[in-house]
Amino acid sequence: MSWTPEKIELLTSLWNQGWTTARIGEELGVGKNAVVGKAHRLGLPKRPSPIQRRAEEAEQKKAPAPKQQSKGISIYDLGPGMCRWPFGDPDTDDFYFCGKKNIPTKPYCDEHCAQAYLNGKNPREDNPPSQQGGPNRGPQRPGAKK
């Protein structure tokens, strides 16, 4: 059998309506494989079969994305250039860092720099290591004794 323009048009139309390849084949008087092959040559979009689609949906419901991973990163994964803003309790496993790209010269990302400035100090440590023992410990006012 040969593919006349009419048959190609019918194939395209039925394909887009979601007919199964077997039924399109019946309609056109050709085998299922001929329908699939012709559709492929015509560049028609692939249609996942209903059964396959249902299986994929079930798969997605079964395996929800892990929450913990999108929340932040562990201290072991914390590297240079990453936001060091801590979350959670350091004494538990539920402790992690923001891990977003930090602002150069700052230990935090945009968002957490803003929060740090809002609080007026480092969220956990009053004296982070980078500010300890350095030559610039702030202005020393003579006579500022307790």
Site for Zn ion, rule CB under 5 A: 83, 85, 98, 100, 109, 112
Which C-beta is closer to Zn ion: that of 30 or that of 116? 116
H or E segment and range at residue 97? strand 96-97
Which C-beta is closer to Zn ion: that of 39 or that of 98? 98
Which C-beta is closer to Zn ion: that of 57 or that of 125? 125
Q: What is the DSSP letter of 104?
A: T
CA distance 97 to 87: 6
The least distance separating Zn ion from the CB of residue 99, rounded to whole angstroms, comes to: 7
CA distance 57 to 34: 30
The least distance separating Zn ion from the CB of residue 108, rounded to whole angstroms, comes to: 5
The least distance separating Zn ion from the CB of residue 130, rounded to whole angstroms, comes to: 17
Distance, C-alpha 98 to centroid of its chain: 15
The least distance separating Zn ion from the CB of residue 106, rounded to whole angstroms, comes to: 10
Which C-beta is closer to Zn ion: that of 35 or that of 82? 82
Which C-beta is closer to Zn ion: that of 85 or that of 96? 85
Find, among 138, 137, 112, the residue nearest to 123 by Cα. 112
Tokens 């395209």, located at residue: 12
The least distance separating Zn ion from the CB of residue 72, rounded to whole angstroms, comes to: 9
